[in-house]
Structure 1
Amino acid sequence: MARNVRVMNCPPEAVFEVLADAWLYPSWVVGASRMRDVDEAWPAEGARLHHSVGTWPLVIDDETRSLEWEPPHRMRLRAKGWPLGEAHVVIDVKPRGDGCVVRIQEEAVEGPGSWVPRFLTEPALRVRNAETLQRLAYLAEGRHRTGQAEAEPVPDAE
């Protein structure tokens, strides 16, 4: 199982705000290129988000299912990325001072990706998930910073 850890300068709740907004999924998940639809119940257990993987014109429509949603501590997903297969992804968040520590673990569980020996797949997954955590940090930390102050009203244009 590939594991990555990152310290983020925001509370765990800010991370879970990003995770709860399924429309942000392609912004932080490396490989996801666009969103097509989101179940109304997202991120509740069993709910799905419908995304595409790849770069145009080689785009594959797929989905990710929520397996566990325990904010602000843990989220578990079953991510599809065919033709490579499916993976279990666990995101654990723990408070640390004014911020938090986020750990992501990913393991191929079905399809061709699960047949390849782990010593070959884990280095690539660690590189990919380091970027995934960096993107998640940008969103969560940015949301936390901008969320602290009330937005000023915009005057009507005359």
Structure 2
Amino acid sequence: MSVNSRILRTTPERVWDVLADGWLYPLWVVGASRVRDVDDSFPAKGSQIYHSVGVWPALIDDSTEVLDVDPYQHIRLRARGWPIGEAEVVIELGPSGAFTEVVIREDAVAGPGTLIPEPLKGLSLKWRNTETLRRLAYIAENRTAS
């Protein structure tokens, strides 16, 4: 399992607004290329984002489902990208003074990704989620309040 964290220089509400807008998913999730649809109930438990991963023309259409959610606190997702596999991702928000600490925990749970040795898998997920948190910070810290 890979664990990454970052302090975002904004409130948990502003971070949550980005996480709760499924249409923004490819802007902050490394590897997501586009969103094809978002359930109207997103980010409710059981709702999904229908996305594509990869680079054109080799795009894979799949989805990410919300497994558990506590608004402004955490969201647990099942991200699919077959034939690559599936990952479980937990994003937690917590106060850090006037700012927000965001922690991402991710692990492969199905498919070929589960066969990758932990040190190698951990390094690649760590790099990817460092960039994911960087992108999330850019959006949450600089987006105008709605």
Question: TM-score, length-normalised on structure 1?
Answer: 0.90
Q: Which residue of 1 aligns with 2:121?
A: 121
Gaps of 5+ in 1: 149-158
Deviation, 1:78, is 0.2
Deviation, 1:113, is 0.3
Deviation, 1:64, is 0.2
Gaps of 5+ in 2: none
Q: Which residue of 2 aligns with 1:48?
A: 48
Residue 7 of structure 1 aligns to a residue in which SS? strand
How large is the Cα RMSD of the aligned pairs? 1.0
Residue 147 of structure 1 aligns to a residue in which SS? coil
Q: Is residue 115 of structure 2 the alignment partner of residue 96 of structure 1?
A: no
Percentage identity across paired residues of the two chains: 54
> Within 5 Å, which residues of 2 pair with 1:70-109?
70-109=70-109
Amino acid at match of 1:48: Q
1:4–1:129 contact (8 Å) kept in structure 2 = yes
Deviation, 1:17, is 0.3
Deviation, 1:98, is 1.0
Query: Rg: which structure is higher?
Result: 1
User: 1:6-65 CA distances to partner (integer Å, 9 max, x unpaired)?
Assistant: 000001111110011000000000000001011111000000110000110000101000
1:13–1:71 contact (8 Å) kept in structure 2 = no
Question: TM-score, length-normalised on structure 2?
Answer: 0.97
Amino acid at match of 1:51: H
1:14, 1:69 → 2: CA distance?
16
Q: Which residue of 2 aligns with 1:62?
A: 62
User: 1:98-150 CA distances to partner (integer Å, 9 max, x unpaired)?
Assistant: 1011000100000000111211111010000000000001111112xx329xx
Amino acid at match of 2:104: I
2:79–2:86 contact (8 Å) kept in structure 1 = yes
Amino acid at match of 2:17: E
Aligned length: 146
Q: Which residue of 2 aligns with 1:29?
A: 29
